[in-house]
Amino acid sequence: MKTRITELLGIEHPIIQGGMHFVGFAELAAAVSNAGGLGVITGLTQRTPELLANEIKRCRDMTDKPFGVNLTFLPSTQPPDYPGYVKAIIEGGVKIVETAGNNPQKWLPALKEAGIKVVHKCTSVRHSLKAEAIGCDAVSVDGFECGGHPGEDDIPNMILLPRAADELKIPFVASGGMADARSLVAALAMGADGMNMGTRFIATKEAPVHENVKQAIVAASELDTRLVMRPLRNTERVLTNVAVERLLEKEKALGANIKFEDIFGEVAGVYPKIMLEGEMDAGAWSCGMVAGLIHDIPTCKELIDQIMSEADALIRGRLSGLLAA
Ligand SMILES: Cc1cc2nc3c(=O)[nH]c(=O)nc-3n(C[C@H](O)[C@H](O)[C@H](O)COP(=O)(O)O)c2cc1C
């Protein structure tokens, strides 16, 4: 399939694996890229720019296809060494960067100078238009369904994608709630040029996370996610568990007075325990409503091949068949 996104990124299929903390290691990124999609290493999961440089090298050893690096710009009093990470990306020869969080404008000149395509992930039409205006090459439009940070507008993709299509000139992919061929074809119908998946790619053979995480996603239904940190205006969609229920109790009890320190135990530094050690109640971890559509743990190639062949059948069979009469 050829879309503006496959052309822009030089990939075979219009499917991107979004950056995911303690999931987006070289093994997953390489597997997705080898299967014809775009795999993405999560920059900040690597504690230092040197470790990111090494992760990029490991990925290059596993694939000769294009892959990207995610750089998430978080509001922080002690920001990570962003100049160092940008340097590692440029010197590592990476040609695609997925930015997320705050406005990436400050970093665009250096990235563009190095011939890097920037796909900014954002959760609203106004932020998408801002990304277009500052020179991003594409956007990833993340609807309210998404795992991770859906923003504060709460607009689901059924509305957000056609709105984005009406306003944007640059290519965009649909993100949040995407799992299969139906998602891809629907996203294309709503004007997107492809799709970005997070949660679906965690439940794959190559995702280098503990088996408990994959099983938790397979076992979950679409009713099992919760929104946390809403009072802090840092909303995150997570899979419910004991720690999440405790966190929500604290939010209820403390109301508008809640501070980040109050929920430190439930959210800070929990990813390694969950993703690497499989301690599923160690804290809150991002997961999309799309868990309700995930029932198996295929390889990335099986997943992507199935999506593409079923999308073909959907378009040529079911959809054009509806017109035949
Ligand atoms: C476990 C997990 C960790 C994530 N970590 C990040 C991150 O560090 N940076 C980022 O930009 N997005 C992150 N995301 C968001 C994904 O890249 C993607 O936008 C989102 O998962 C799409 O929604 P879906 O899960 O419904 O497919 C994370 C998502 C998950 C599920």
Q: Does the Cβ of 288 fall within 6 Å of ligand 1?
A: yes
**Rounded Cα–Cα distance for residues 21 and 43 (Å):** 9
Q: Does the Cβ of 177 fall within 6 Å of ligand 1?
A: yes
* SS3 state of residue 72: strand
**Rounded Cα–Cα distance for residues 52 and 46 (Å):** 5
- Centroid of ligand 1 to alpha carbon of 110 (angstroms): 25
Q: Does the Cβ of 287 fall within 6 Å of ligand 1?
A: yes
State the pLDDT at residue 78: 87
Site to substitute for ligand 1 among 15, 20, 204, 227, most atoms within 8 A of C-beta: 20
State the pLDDT at residue 324: 75
- Centroid of ligand 1 to alpha carbon of 146 (angstroms): 7
User: Strand pairing partners for 96?
Assistant: 68, 117
| Length of the chain in terms of residues written | 325
- Centroid of ligand 1 to alpha carbon of 19 (angstroms): 6
278 by Cβ neighbours in 10 Å (0-12 / 13-18 / 19+) ranks as middle
Q: Does the Cβ of 198 fall within 6 Å of ligand 1?
A: yes
Q: Does the Cβ of 284 fall within 6 Å of ligand 1?
A: no
- Centroid of ligand 1 to alpha carbon of 316 (angstroms): 32
Tell me the two tokens of residue 308.
């593409």
- Centroid of ligand 1 to alpha carbon of 22 (angstroms): 11
Contacts 24+ apart (CB under 8 A), 80-85: 80/44, 81/48, 81/49, 82/107, 84/48, 84/49, 85/43, 85/44, 85/49, 85/52
**Atom 17 of ligand 1: nearest residue by CA position:** 18
- Centroid of ligand 1 to alpha carbon of 184 (angstroms): 18
Which atom of ligand 1 is nearest the CA belonging to 145? 26
Site to substitute for ligand 1 among 286, 293, 303, most atoms within 8 A of C-beta: 286
Instruction: Give the list of residues 6+ apart from residue 50 with CB closer than 8 angstroms, or none.
Output: 88
State the pLDDT at residue 74: 83
Give, to the nearest 10 degrees, the angle between helix 300-313 and helix 26-34.
Answer: 40
State the pLDDT at residue 325: 67
Instruction: Give the list of residues 6+ apart from residue 253 with CB closer than 8 angstroms, or none.
Output: none
Instruction: Give the list of residues 6+ apart from residue 186 with CB closer than 8 angstroms, or none.
Output: none
**Atom 6 of ligand 1: nearest residue by CA position:** 20
State the pLDDT at residue 189: 98
Low-confidence ranges of the chain (pLDDT < 70): 325
Which atom of ligand 1 is nearest the CA belonging to 199? 25
**Atom 4 of ligand 1: nearest residue by CA position:** 20
- Centroid of ligand 1 to alpha carbon of 58 (angstroms): 22
